[in-house]
Amino acid sequence: MRVFGIDPGSERTGFGCVETDGSRHRLLICGAIVSSARVPFPDKLLAIHARLGELLRDHEPDCVAIESIFHAVNARSALKLGHARGVAMLAAVQAGLPVLEYTPAEIKRAVVGYGRAEKPQVQSMIKLILGLDAVPSPHDAADALAVAICHIHSRGVGPVVAPVPRSRAATSWRHYRPAR
């Protein structure tokens, strides 16, 4: 199975394609689509759409996994991110591929085992899971690979990180009481 992951962004859109047999994952390609700050925004969107279309044709994935929008403080940034996500999803749909969305917390939980993991933790796990010599660069590429691996792990194609059972009453270790 081949999964193409996308970490959308208006300045840099990360991408990565992972192939798996269910037990081993192999990196096929990763990188980022970068546009100059001087390029008008509509042209950036066109470049993202065109390049993703080429990559999807070249690598023939079975599906596309994309990071969903998270809560953003800056509305303008959130709108730009939404546009980038839209053209990325359009490229996938035009290629006839199913699109699956995952939240940042789901991605971190599937890759690291903790939904609030920091970027360096996610990058280190990507390096380990894929057996790479170095962390994928730029960080957008590592994030895109994390999205792809999240899909693989959540769909039962590979090893799944089990969620840690939590007591709803305990909000801190100070409040923890063992079950009887």
pLDDT digits (tens, 9 = 90+) for 13-29: 999 999 999 889 999 99
- In terms of Cα–Cα distance, which of 35, 122, 123, 139 is closest to 83? 35
Query: Domain residue spans in the chain?
Result: 2-175
Average pLDDT of the segment spanning 116-135: 94
Which of these, 100, 101, 87, lies nearest to 48 by C-alpha position?
Answer: 87
Q: Which residues are catalytic?
A: 7, 67, 140
pLDDT confidence bin for 178, thresholds 50/70/90: low
Task: Note the pLDDT tens digit of each residue in 11-70.
Answer: 999 999 999 998 899 999 999 999 899 999 999 999 999 999 999 999 999 999 999 976
pLDDT the model gives residue 163: 39
Q: Which fold has domain 2-175?
A: Nucleotidyltransferase; domain 5 (3.30.420)
Q: Which residue type sits at 94?
A: Q
